[in-house]
Amino acid sequence: MSTVPTRVFASGSEAGRTAPAAAARRIARGGFAALRRTPPGLVLAWLVIATVVLWALAPGLFAGQNPVAGIAREKLLPPSAAHLLGTDALGRDLYARIVHGAVHSLSGAFVAVTVGLLAGTSLGLVAGARGGLVDLLVMRLVDTLLAIPTLLLSLTIIVLLGFGTVNAAIAVGLASVASFARLTRSEVVRVRGADYVEAAYGSGGTFWRVLWRHVLPNSLTSVIGLAALQFGTAILSISTLGFLGYGAPPPTPEWGLLIAEGRNYISRASWITTAPGIVVVLVVLSANRISRAFAGSPR
């Protein structure tokens, strides 16, 4: 199973030894050229995602104020220099809460996508590569999952698993298993019929080796695209669950929870709902844009 990665590393280190400086310069030049050719919308999308990831990794660098403890007399202040996005009903700085909330939403989405990707891809791979009865059973199971509305499915799983950020993420991930499995299976079936796969069997390859060397790598391109798309959807779903009270408990500054808390004050202090809402929308759109770029450039 590990032959492929070792070979890749070996060739990389060889190239590095021969001319490290030249290689570095070439990479730098290639990087700039690539940046100039990238559409501006895609650059913006990457910037948004990078910012949000930085928020999640080091929230302290971006927002100095305490996201959890508020100052009562500063409640419901409109955006100002002291509070960039204003304050909420308990006098907590909204900007700080959004920055500190990134880690909850992002890690949740990450867990969700990982769960969906691993479980869905494995199911699809086995179904597509084995065919026959296995395929039939797995795909009917997937059809059943697809027939249930995603939110309802997530809620059901949460009720079984219990409340909490991680459980909400797992629930969202399991709800996306079906779409991953379907896509992977269709890709695997397509690749399995290719001449080079037959040639690999013809040169003495065993089922698992051919699967690992040819079918999996060539099926993954659009699956990775779907994963990026699901990342956006997962943030939205986790926020939805948070909004409904199934996710992280207060006072966690999770994005969905922020939107839910602000809705009581929407006529007096619309920023409390609007600001986190816009952040969610931007992140989801960016993830969408990036996933389209993945899908559009098969390499």
Find how far residue 32's CA is from the centre of its chain. 26
Q: Is 22 in the site for other proteins (CB under 8 A)?
A: no
Find how far residue 218's CA is from the centre of its chain. 21
Quick one: DSSP state of residue 212?
Answer: I
In the bound state with other proteins, the residue whose beta carbon lies nearer, of 11 and 264, is 11
- The distance of closest approach from Cβ of residue 222 to other proteins in the complex, given in angstroms and rounded to an integer, is 14
How many residues would you count in the chain? 299
Quote the tokens at residue 205.
């390859």
* Residue 64 contacts residue 96 (beta carbons within 8 Å): yes
Task: From 3-11, 120-128, 130-138, 267-275, give the range in contact with other proteins by CB under 8 A.
Answer: 3-11
Q: Is 164 in the site for other proteins (CB under 8 A)?
A: no
**73 phi/psi in degrees, rounded to 5:** -80, -10
Q: Is 296 in the site for other proteins (CB under 8 A)?
A: no
In the bound state with other proteins, the residue whose beta carbon lies nearer, of 171 and 200, is 200
Q: Is 11 in the site for other proteins (CB under 8 A)?
A: yes
Q: Is 205 in the site for other proteins (CB under 8 A)?
A: yes
Binding mask 35-54 for other proteins (x = CB under 8 A): --x-----------------
Residue 47 half-sphere exposure toward CB, CA atoms < 13 A: 8
Alpha helix (H) ranges present in 131-270? Answer: 132-147, 150-161, 165-175, 177-192, 195-202, 207-210, 216-244, 255-262
Q: Is 213 in the site for other proteins (CB under 8 A)?
A: yes
C-alpha closest to that of 233 among 153, 150, 152 = 150
Provide Rg for the chain, Cα atoms.
23
Task: From 82-90, 207-215, 237-245, 264-272, give the range in contact with other proteins by CB under 8 A.
Answer: 207-215
- The distance of closest approach from Cβ of residue 37 to other proteins in the complex, given in angstroms and rounded to an integer, is 7
- The distance of closest approach from Cβ of residue 213 to other proteins in the complex, given in angstroms and rounded to an integer, is 7
Q: Is 292 in the site for other proteins (CB under 8 A)?
A: no
The SS3 of residue 87 is strand
C-alpha closest to that of 230 among 48, 83, 108 = 108
Q: Which of 214, 254, 275, 290 binds other proteins (CB under 8 A)?
A: 214
Size of the site for other proteins (CB under 8 A): 21
Binding mask 185-204 for other proteins (x = CB under 8 A): ---------xxx-xxxxxxx
In the bound state with other proteins, the residue whose beta carbon lies nearer, of 186 and 218, is 218
**Whole-angstrom Cα distance, residue 91 to residue 86?**
9
Report the alpha-carbon angle 178-180-185, nearest 5. Answer: 95
In the bound state with other proteins, the residue whose beta carbon lies nearer, of 7 and 26, is 7
Q: Is 218 in the site for other proteins (CB under 8 A)?
A: yes
Residues at the contact surface with other proteins, assessed by CB under 8 A: 3, 7, 11, 37, 194-196, 198-206, 209, 213-214, 217-218
